[in-house]
Amino acid sequence: MNDIYIVGVGMTPFGRLLDRTVYDMVGEAVGLALKDAGITTADIESAYYAGATNGPLQGQTAIPGPIAMRHVGIEGVPVFSVENACASGSSAFNLATLALRAGSCDIALAVGAEKMNIADKSKMFAVFDGGWDVATVEQNKATLLAMGDGVTVPPGTMSERPYSVFMDIYAALCRYHMKTYGTTQRQIAAVAAKNHTHSVHNPLAQFQKAFSIDEVLASPPIAYPLTTLMCSAISDGAAAVVVCNAAGLKRLNGSAGRAVKVLASVIQTGTNRALAEPQKLLPIWRQEKPTKSLACRPLMSA
CA distances from 73 to 30, 43, 68, 82, 86 (A): 10, 11, 9, 19, 27
The model's pLDDT over 233-250, given as tens digits with 9 standing for 90+, comes to 999 999 999 999 999 999
Q: What is the maximum alpha-carbon separation in the chain?
A: 63
pLDDT at residue 256, as a whole number: 73
pTM of the model: 0.87
Q: Where are the domains of the chain?
A: 4-117+235-261, 121-230
Query: According to the model, what pLDDT value does residue 288 have?
Result: 41
SS3 label, residue 281: helix
pLDDT at 299 over 70: no
What's the rounded mean pLDDT across residues 282-292? 40
Each residue of 15-59: pLDDT tens digit? 999 999 999 999 999 999 999 999 999 999 999 999 999 999 999
CB-CB contact of 25 with 236 (8 Å): yes
3-state per-residue secondary structure call for 4-48: EEEEEEEECCCECCCCCCHHHHHHHHHHHHHHHHCCCHHHCCEEE
Q: Does residue 174 surpass a pLDDT of 50?
A: yes
Q: Is the pLDDT of residue 136 over 60?
A: yes
Q: Is the dihedral of CA 56, 12, 297, 69 positive or negative?
A: positive
- Protein fold of 4-117+235-261: Peroxisomal Thiolase; Chain A, domain 1 (3.40.47)
What is the structure's pLDDT at 296?
35
Q: How confident is the model at residue 302 (pLDDT cuts 50, 70, 90)?
A: very low
The reply to whether omega before 225 is within 30° of 0 (cis) is yes
**Mean pLDDT score across all residues of the chain:** 90
Predicted confidence (pLDDT) per residue in 82-91, tens digit: 999 999 999 9
Q: pLDDT tens digits for 197-209? A: 999 999 999 999 9
